[in-house]
Amino acid sequence: MDGGLKRKLKTGLVLAFIAGLIVLFARPEYRQGEPSLRGRSAKDFQLTLDGKPANLSDLRGKVVVLNFWATWCQPCVDEAPSLVELQRRVAPLGGLVLGVNAGVNDSQSAYESFLKTYNVDFPTYFDSSQQIARSYGTTMYPETYVIDRKGRIDRKIIGPQDWTSPTMMAYLDSVLNEK
């Protein structure tokens, strides 16, 4: 192989690698807290809370931590205790953790068993149709949207979090303290 051909081949490989990175970083699943969603109205949906029909929009005035999860998702299992603790901390301040089981390969009994096993006492909804997750474009679990008191998305977070970490609590306090 002559020097010119090697140089062209290396250049082509480098350009292909850079193009691959651009595609990877542009994918919605990669974009944590993507700024393009901030300030958009959260998509309203119907659900059942405490045995009664409700809508997400009924929760305006509260800061809602909308968490999409599944029973078979190990990161969701790992995250559950910190979401339970987060609900205890934010409820007195006008916050609410709202879990939506995306229904992907889950049964009603698996959902109920998960809630019992991990002592989930914040409001949850079993979305067997997967309509809610689809409307939000959720493809990875867990995925969470922090919705401000006016019903606008403040942040999208993909992947498990320690919701009670000092950094996360400082962020949530700032959203809870907005008027």
Q: Along the 179 residues of the chain, how does pLDDT read in single tens digits?
A: 677 788 888 887 767 667 665 665 555 444 454 456 888 999 999 988 888 999 999 999 999 999 999 999 999 999 999 999 999 999 999 999 999 998 778 889 999 999 999 999 999 999 988 899 999 988 889 999 999 999 999 999 999 999 999 999 999 999 999 87
Number of residues that this document lists for the chain: 179
Find how far residue 173's CA is from the centre of its chain.
Answer: 18
CB under 8 Å to 46, separation ≥6 — which residues? 53, 54, 55
Find how far residue 147's CA is from the centre of its chain.
Answer: 11
**Entry pTM:** 0.79
Q: Under the phi-then-psi rule, with left for phi > 0, alpha for psi from -120 to 50, and beta for the rest, what region is 35?
A: alpha
CA distance 76 to 72: 8
